[in-house]
Amino acid sequence: MLARKNILKIKPYIPGKPIEEVKRQLGLKKVIKLASNENALRPSGAVIRAARRAVLSANRYPDGGCFYLKKELSKRFKVKPGRIIIGNGSDEIIILAVKAFLAKGEEVIIAKQTFLIYEIASQIGEAKIRYAPLKNYRYDIDAIIRLITDKTKMIFIANPDNPAGTYLGKREIERLVRSAPRDTILYFDEAYFEFAKNMKDFPDTMKYLGRKNVIVTRTFSKAYSLAGLRIGYGFSSENIIECLNRVREPFNVNSVAQEAAIAALCDKAYLDKTLKLVQNGKAYLYEKLGSLGIKYVPSATNFILIDVGMNSKTVFKRLLKRGIIVREMSPWKLKNFIRVTIGTVKENRVFIKALKEILQK
Amino acid sequence: MLARKNILKIKPYIPGKPIEEVKRQLGLKKVIKLASNENALRPSGAVIRAARRAVLSANRYPDGGCFYLKKELSKRFKVKPGRIIIGNGSDEIIILAVKAFLAKGEEVIIAKQTFLIYEIASQIGEAKIRYAPLKNYRYDIDAIIRLITDKTKMIFIANPDNPAGTYLGKREIERLVRSAPRDTILYFDEAYFEFAKNMKDFPDTMKYLGRKNVIVTRTFSKAYSLAGLRIGYGFSSENIIECLNRVREPFNVNSVAQEAAIAALCDKAYLDKTLKLVQNGKAYLYEKLGSLGIKYVPSATNFILIDVGMNSKTVFKRLLKRGIIVREMSPWKLKNFIRVTIGTVKENRVFIKALKEILQK
């Protein structure tokens, strides 16, 4: 066999079919996608214009240093450009961090269950994974702290978490930061930051950057509506950023994404609109789920983990037949759960109507 | 120190400044970029329209399986979709191959000097690199075959080569394929394939795919004019493709690039125009360089390696002052060489005029 032994242990990625194919096969005219925690709104006019302008220069390589985007982020977050990294999605920064810092056999602490990429990246890197179980669908800081040994090289914290949608507060994060050894990297994945930042007690992890063992990453895929373009960013010490740069491809971030991201950062009205849509949609879904007696996990994000009280694969299939795609949670060992992205007003209504019919059958 | 030890041995990537910054700093109004082997023409109208359409759906994740692009490639090259991989540039496929197949300490054979990513990816993977020197600016198949041991896991062949621009013919490739053990992966990087495919004796490596130890990659960055969007593709056995998929990010290729690539494949007139521009430009440059008594390496690509007969850094700086950016080859230990991309008719003329002035000073 040609491959490295450990590679064969990784669960192969089986790509889903594109929506157009699903439609064709099921004979559906319209499909509502509430499966991937995307923004229900297309990008703003300003962002579309910037992206389209960039398309005209597609014959040229992108700026490998993401000079102007870093400049804009630097200004907004008061962090020097040398302490910023841009990734082909923030997923890529997770993978780069494992590549740069986790040697074979070194330990990494990951919650169980959480965002899957931490585990996949660590398996590829042949790190030893120690799993910290969730407690009531929340990261359990005590469980994490108990797992720290002198071999712990990295700890992944999704805050807010995906798929649970819950978050850790200021004091929990403070406790973790104080308990972690200085040579253990604390990786805060804040992909859903914009939705959570005004929650009571949501921590400001940027204030820990000075400790030099902290990485904070965020994305343009969710609140900024750029999932299709692949772009995310991270902050850390200059030293850590330099190490991440050594293991990344020189032209990892395409030029259309760079231009769109700069325009997106500057469009506060669009961000406000998105946050309002999610807030109102969440209130609507909470109310309807509550009145139907359906349990859910209160969320700090743009999605909700819902306990449908029966096999989620069945519910998934029945929703799909009605043209609604959600995420069924059996790969996360949550067999009675679906994860539903908050959609437009109309999409939320269609979803609730369908779910009601399915569960009352 | 936090990083894995070997990471610190890798030469850090120092991003160049964007052209706009160079202009500002040097007070230049116009800059001609002949440094990165890009297509001198912007993408065709059909490609720009397809890319711009895709921008409208940027809120949605890209198709992680690149279904439609693989379908199009499959039809054209008569290779099943399961034997195709799409990368964030073909650079990414090189990195994935090292990740999937090269364990620490295993041997990889790389020419010296050639495309730098093979070396960087292998260093990150902690593989043992064995270097095969070029002979008269060409890959030396005998030198490569001599380096093969029972530990050789992979051999990188850039055909045509970058930065030399030379290529290996049918018999040389045949000899290599026959000499390589069945569990040694032969990685043919054909980024400049379209420019070379009609050269006398250029090999058809696709015919070796059945041997199950061959990877062939190509790119949309050069002849197809999509460097800014980041997209490349590769063919191999189903088994190898599955291993590469296990180590790639699920959403590695953005949606704008996928749509643009499909449109680009369908636009034969544009490709012909590009190939003609390069062919005519090359003839012009050969003639002018010849009449100025400047030596160069005949090229099967869209760039030319030129022996300027003096320190290339000096020539680089003097060209830059005149608003012309080329690549100076000292990082490749070719201290008297510059690498110049073939530009538009006007760009080639401006370059020759400037080079003449500089060298005759």
The ipTM, to two decimals, is: 0.97
Neighbours of B344 (CB within 10 A): 13
Q: Residue B126 is encoded by which pair of tokens?
A: 């902690």
Phi, psi for B220 (deg, rounded to 5) = -95, 5
Which residue, among B65, B73, B80, B98, has the nearest Cα to B244 in the 3D structure?
B98
Angle at B154 between CA B150 and CA B158, to 5 degrees: 140
In this predicted model, what pLDDT tens digit does every residue of B237-277 receive, in sequence order?
A: 999 999 999 999 999 999 999 999 999 999 999 999 999 99
Chain A hits for B10, Cβ within 8 Å: 246-247
Higher pLDDT, A309 or B3: A309
Please say whether the beta carbons of A187 and A155 come within 8 A.
yes
pLDDT band at A3 (very low <50, low <70, confident <90, very high): confident
Instruction: With CB atoms and an 8 Å threshold, state whether B252 touches A100.
Output: no
**How many Cβ pairs closer than 8 A exist between chain A and B?**
248
pLDDT class of B1 with cuts at 50, 70, 90: low
Closest residue of chain B to A54, computed from CA coordinates:
B228
CA distance A109 to chain B (A): 16
- Give the whole-angstrom CA distance, residue A261 versus residue A232: 9
Q: Do A256 and B51 touch (CB under 8 A)?
A: yes
Verify whether the Cβ–Cβ distance A183 to B68 is below 8 Å: no
Measured between beta carbons, which residues in chain B are less than 8 angstroms from residue A185? 2
Would you place residue B18 in the very low, low, confident or very high pLDDT band (cuts 50, 70, 90)? confident
Written as six digits, the tokens of B144 are: 């490569």
Show residues of chain A in contact with B38, CB under 8 Å: 59-61
Among A48, A256, A262, A327, the residue to mutate for chain B (most B Cβ within 10 A): A256
With cut-offs at 50, 70 and 90, classify the pLDDT of residue A14: low
The pLDDT, as a whole number, for residue A1 is: 55
User: Which of A68, A227, A246 has the CB atom closest to B12's CB atom?
Assistant: A246
Q: CA nearest B105 in A: which residue?
A: A4
Can you give the pLDDT at residue A295? 98
Burial of A31 (0-12, 13-18, 19+ CB in 10 A): middle
Residue A9: predicted pLDDT = 78
Cis? peptide before A163, omega within 30° of 0:
yes
Min Cα separation A325/chain B (Å): 13
Nearest to B228 among A58, A124, A250 (CB): A58
Q: Which residues from chain A sit within 8 angstroms of residue B221, using beta carbons?
A: 61
| Chain A nearest-CA residue for B152 | A2
pLDDT tops 70 at residue A328: yes
Distance from CA of B295 to the nearest CA of A (A): 28
Q: What pLDDT was estimated at residue B142?
A: 97
Residues of chain B neighbouring A91 (CB-CB closer than 8 A): 249-251
Distance (Å) from the C-alpha of residue A78 to the closest C-alpha of chain B?
21
Q: Report the run of H or E that residue A197 belongs to, with start and end.
A: none
Contacts of A245 in chain B (CB under 8 A): 12-13
- Which is higher by pLDDT, A198 or A14? A198
pLDDT at residue A16 tops 80: no
> Which residue has tokens 């050594």?
A246
Band of the pLDDT at B329, cuts 50, 70, 90?
A: very high
Examine the pLDDT at B178 and tell me if it is beyond 70.
yes
Substitution target from B57, B215, B253, B256 for chain A, most A beta carbons within 10 A: B256
Long-range contacts of A284-290 (CB under 8 A, 24+ apart): A284/A345, A284/A348, A284/A349, A284/A352, A285/A340, A285/A342, A285/A348, A285/A352, A288/A352, A289/A352
Q: Is B256's CB within 8 Å of A51's CB?
A: yes
Strands lying side by side in the sheet with B107-112? B84-87, B232-235, B214-219, B185-189, B152-158, B107-112, B128-133
pLDDT-based confidence at residue B14 (cuts at 50, 70, 90): low
Give the mean model confidence (pLDDT) for residues A178-183.
Answer: 95
Report CB contact under 8 Å: A58, B227: yes
Work out the pLDDT band at B75, boundaries 50, 70, 90.
very high
List chain A residues with CB under 8 Å of B257.
254
Question: Which contiguous run of DSSP H or E holds residue A54?
Answer: helix A45-55
pLDDT band at A15 (very low <50, low <70, confident <90, very high): low
Distance from CA of B237 to the nearest CA of A (A): 11
Residue range B126-148, pLDDT digits in tens: 999 999 999 999 999 999 999 99
Percent residues over pLDDT 70 in chain A: 98
- Suggest the residue from B71, B182, B247, B270 to mutate for an interface test with chain A (most A CBs closer than 10 A): B247
Question: What is the reported pLDDT for A20?
Answer: 85
Q: What percent of chain B clears pLDDT 90, i.e. is strictly above it?
A: 89
Taking CA A205 as the corner, what is the angle to CA A203 and CA A206, rounded to the nearest 5 degrees? 130
What average pLDDT does chain A have?
95
In this complex, the residue of B3, B249, B254 whose CB is nearest that of residue A95 is B249
Q: Is the peptide bond before A113 cis (omega within 30 degrees of 0)?
A: yes
Number of C-beta neighbours around residue B192 at 10 A? 25
Predicted confidence (pLDDT) at residue B13 exceeds the cutoff of 70? no
Closest CA to A8 of B236, B239, B127: B239
pLDDT at A217 over 70: yes
Span A221-243, pLDDT tens digits: 999 999 999 999 999 999 999 99
Mean pLDDT, chain B, rounded, equals 95
Question: Nearest-CA residue of chain B relative to A154?
Answer: B2
Which of A278, A350, A234, A257 is closest to A38 using CA atoms? A278
Selecting from A51, A89, A249 the residue whose C-beta is nearest the C-beta of B58 gives A51
CB within 8 Å: B40 and A52: no
pLDDT at B209 over 80: yes
Helical H runs in chain B?
Answer: 19-26, 45-55, 67-77, 90-101, 117-124, 141-147, 170-179, 193-196, 238-246, 255-265, 268-291, 312-321, 345-360
Residues A51-63: what's their mean pLDDT?
97
Residue B220 pLDDT exceeds 80: yes
Tokens read off for A182: 């200085």
Q: Look at B2 and A48 and tell me if their CB atoms are within 8 Å.
A: no
Single-letter code of the amino acid located at A114: T
Asked if A254's CB is within 8 angstroms of B256's CB, the reply is: yes
Instruction: Determine the straight-line distance between the first and last CA of chain A, rounded to whole angstroms.
Output: 50
Mutate to test the interface with A, among B226, B249, B271 (most CBs of A within 10 A): B249
Separation in Å, CA B72 to CA B75, B214, B259: 5, 21, 11
Burial of residue B134, with CB atoms counted within 10 A of its CB: 0-12 exposed, 13-18 middle, 19 or more buried: middle
Q: Which residues in chain B are closer than 8 Å to A12, comparing Cβ atoms?
A: 242, 245-246
Q: B12 preceded by cis ω (within 30°)?
A: no
Collect all residues with Cβ–Cβ distance below 8 Å to A307 and sequence separation of at least 6.
A294, A295, A296, A297, A336, A337
Least confident of A186-195, B11-20, B162-171: B11-20
Q: Hey, are the CB atoms on A63 and B15 less than 8 Å from each other? A: yes
pLDDT bracket for residue A22 (50, 70, 90): confident
Judged against a pLDDT cut of 80, whether residue A8 lies above it is answered with: no
Give the chain B residue nearest A33 (alpha carbons): B60
- B328-333: long-range contacts, CB 8 A cutoff, minimum separation 24: B329/B163, B329/B305, B331/B116, B332/B113, B332/B163, B333/B113
Pick among A93, A254, A325 to test the B interface (most B CBs inside 10 A): A254
